[in-house]
Structures are given as structure tokens and as C-alpha cells.
Amino acid sequence: MKTSYYILFSLVFNSLFLVAQPTGAQELGSWQEITISNKLSEKYSFFGALTSWSYELPLKRSHLLSAIVGAQYHFNSKTSIGIGYAFGDIDSSFEINDVPHTKEHRILEQFGIKHKWHNISLSQRFRLEHRFLDYQTESILKHRWRYRFKSTIPINTTFFISIYDEIHFNLNPFEFQQNRVFSGIGMRLHKNIKAELGYARHSFSTKSFNRLSIQLNLKLDSTKLKT
């Protein structure tokens, strides 16, 4: 457990100080995300996500719009593997004038582990991505490795603190690609619905962005539906 906390601290520290002189947008942007999971049986589940980034508030100058769908196999309540597909539309025209949108088709495989330490929920996700990127003038394939460590700390039965860090590395060639740090307050709106509001720092090797993050999580269980 001490090792996991050391990894989390190191990733957060590197994210905050890796970019000494950010060259990205200086405005506060936004990060909106809706995630959904649906338990289909004791072993199988469906997951999906819709993500939108913007360079400025309120929701101005779109940066990225992506959608993910996939399926998971659960070995038990703590470990799972999954496969999925994602489509993304990346708009960098705010940073470089007249740059066309980059279209991305992505295939992913992932492995997840959940932990419990007293009343604190911990999770780790290892994800391998195969990114088919269309830059208008050329199309290339990039492979990327992602590692996310997340912690949820309850305040009471309704509110909780949410913290996570996710680091990305390109594999061809091997290099740091980006890091995402989030910290915020969450609220259980329903037994199947959670909302989180907080601050996210999105860092690349040459630029970084500060964003207000709003996340909505829907967790369904089809096995409990009555005929």
C-alpha cells in the first residue's frame, strides 16, 4: 500500500512541475465527462464514456470530443479485463491557426484492479491503446500505454473526495505523452448516479492546461431488473 501512495505522489508531483513554462492556453478551460457502466451478469459488463474538452469557459473553443464503448470480463469483484473502441475529434486550431481537425479511431485493451483500505476505495487501471490518427496529410498508427491510480475518500454518506492521476506514454518511440491530475468533491445523487466537480491539470511535454472538471457517473445493474 505504501508503494501505491508513493507512485501516486510521484505522478502528481511530476505533473505539476514537469512543464516549467507552459505554452498552451492561459485561460481556465473545461473538462466534461459522462461515464456509464452496466453489469450484464456476474462475469460481464458494458462500459462507455463521452468526453469533451474546451480551451476556455464557458465551453468555448473546443479542444477534443471523444466517445468510448467497450466490454469487460470480471474474474472477481476486484479484477477485470476489457476491450473497447473509441472515436475522437481533436481540434488544435486554438494553438495553431488553420490546423485541420485530427480524427482518431482507437482500439484499447485494459486491466483493472480495485482495493479497499479501511473506508477508502482505491483502483488501478492499466490500458494499452492502438491509435489510428488521420492528420489530413497523412495517417499514422501510434501505440500508447496509460496507467491510472484513483482514490475515493468518503466524507459522509453523500459526499466524498475524489483524486486521481493518469500518466500516458507513447510506445513507438517510447516517450512521455501526457499526464492528467484531478482532485475534487463528489456527491451521490442516487445509488446509481455520482457527480464530481473539481480541478484538472492536463500536462504535455511542452504545454499544460488548467481545467474545471465536471464528471457524471452512471452505474447500472441489469441483473437486478425485474421481468
Please, are residues 38 and 222 in contact by the beta-carbon 8 Å criterion? yes
Q: How far apart are CA 64 and CA 102, in angstroms?
A: 9
Domains of the chain (ranges; CATH) run 2-224 (2.40.160)
Q: What confidence score (pLDDT) does residue 99 get?
A: 73
If one counts every other C-beta atom within 10 angstroms of the C-beta of residue 202, the result is 22
Q: Supply the pTM of this predicted model.
A: 0.84
If one counts every other C-beta atom within 10 angstroms of the C-beta of residue 191, the result is 8
Q: What confidence score (pLDDT) does residue 47 get?
A: 97
User: Along the 227 residues of the chain, how does pLDDT read in single tens digits?
Assistant: 555 444 444 544 454 444 433 344 578 999 999 999 999 999 999 999 999 999 888 777 888 999 999 999 999 999 999 999 999 999 887 777 667 789 999 999 999 999 999 899 999 999 999 999 998 789 999 999 999 999 999 999 999 999 999 999 999 999 999 999 999 999 999 989 999 999 999 998 888 899 999 999 999 999 887 54
Q: How far apart are CA 83 and CA 35, in angstroms?
A: 16
Q: What confidence score (pLDDT) does residue 137 get?
A: 83
Q: What residue type is assigned to position 22 of the chain?
A: P
| Nearest Cα residue to 52 out of 61, 60, 64 | 64
